[in-house]
Amino acid sequence: MWKQVKSSTCIRIGYGKVAQMHDSILRGLGISTIGIIEADEEKEKLARNRGIRVFSCYEEAAEQNPQIWDVCVDTGAHIDVLRQIITIVPHANILMEKPLCYASELGKVDRLLSNFTGKITIGENYASSNLLSLIIQKLYPTHIPESISIEFVKDRRQDMSNGRFTDKEFGVLGYEGSHMLEVVCQVARCWTIKEIHAKQQDTHTHASEFSLENGIRVQFATSTCSAASKESARKVTIGAKEPIIGTFDCQTHDYISKLLYAGSEYYFTDNSMRNHLSRALQYFEGKAENPYTWKSASNIVKLLQSLSQ
């Protein structure tokens, strides 16, 4: 259930697609955006034209005393943004988009956050997916999957031509890879890759097969250029005989997911981003546990590195 918090305020770093989605959802949860910081001139102009206040620096934004800093910038900018916020506001509440950082920056993140006295949570929305939760309920404790097959496909070529960032370290895995690994690891209850058996990756596609430490075999595929139908865009198949099949956002605009289990189909609302942001707000208020820690996000980054190398 989505929970509205007491009236609160937010400074947003970035004004891309995800930032605008956050703004819409958080407003519905009782969070008003004071303004943004945006380095891109075109995005800054767009924000100003929409009546959004744009701050020239972090010091100016911090003077507004926001309850939340919402970081929605390219992965390569995360470290610098974190450093600036923490330097000015040591006890800040920070919501940061996934992936946490590049693998080459994990040491810097560790030094920045090991003694951080504020709160930070990572926007790994699939950790709050109703479908993922239901799959795990169906599986355990009686069913231990011997195999998992996962495929996330979305044609992002138009987004890229419109200025969506290109991940320079993880490549195509920088888009859906962390979501996919979160689903796999949660379903398998294992967060360590033992062996990669096969791997192929180019600018727009990735396909690999690997075994986890607990022996579960995983087939893993994603693409940013295949025009797949909505029904098969984000799908996970668990087991080979009478498999459990979950399809995330099979009706994207209505946030409907589908579960195929024991010959029956179940459809239900699954707005994982809204679920996750609601949990993050409860965490900042001290009413719930952190929905996704930076250390969990660091582990996902290490897995992304192993698959993208």
Tell me the per-residue pLDDT of 154-210, one tens digit each, with 9 for 90 and over. 776 666 555 555 667 888 898 899 999 999 999 999 999 999 999 998 888 999 999
Three-point CA angle 120, 172, 42, nearest 5°: 70
Q: Per CATH, the architecture of 8-124 is what?
A: 3-Layer(aba) Sandwich (3.40)
Tokens of 34: 């004071």
Give DSSP secondary structure letters for 120-189: EEEE-GGGG-HHHHHHHHHHTTT---SEEEEEEE---HHHHHTT----TTTTTHHHHHHHHHHHHHHHHT
Q: Determine if the pTM surpasses 0.75.
A: yes
Q: How confident is the model at residue 107 (pLDDT cuts 50, 70, 90)?
A: very high
**Domain definitions of the chain by residue range:** 8-124, 126-274
Model pLDDT for residues 221-274, shown as the tens digit of each residue: 998 886 544 444 899 999 988 899 999 987 656 789 999 998 899 999 999 999
Which CATH number does the domain 126-274 belong to among 3.30.2080.10, 3.40.50.1110, 3.30.360.10, 3.30.990.10? 3.30.360.10
131-144 residue pLDDT tens = 999 999 988 877 77
Distance CA 170, CA 165 (A): 12
Structure confidence at residue 18 (pLDDT): 93
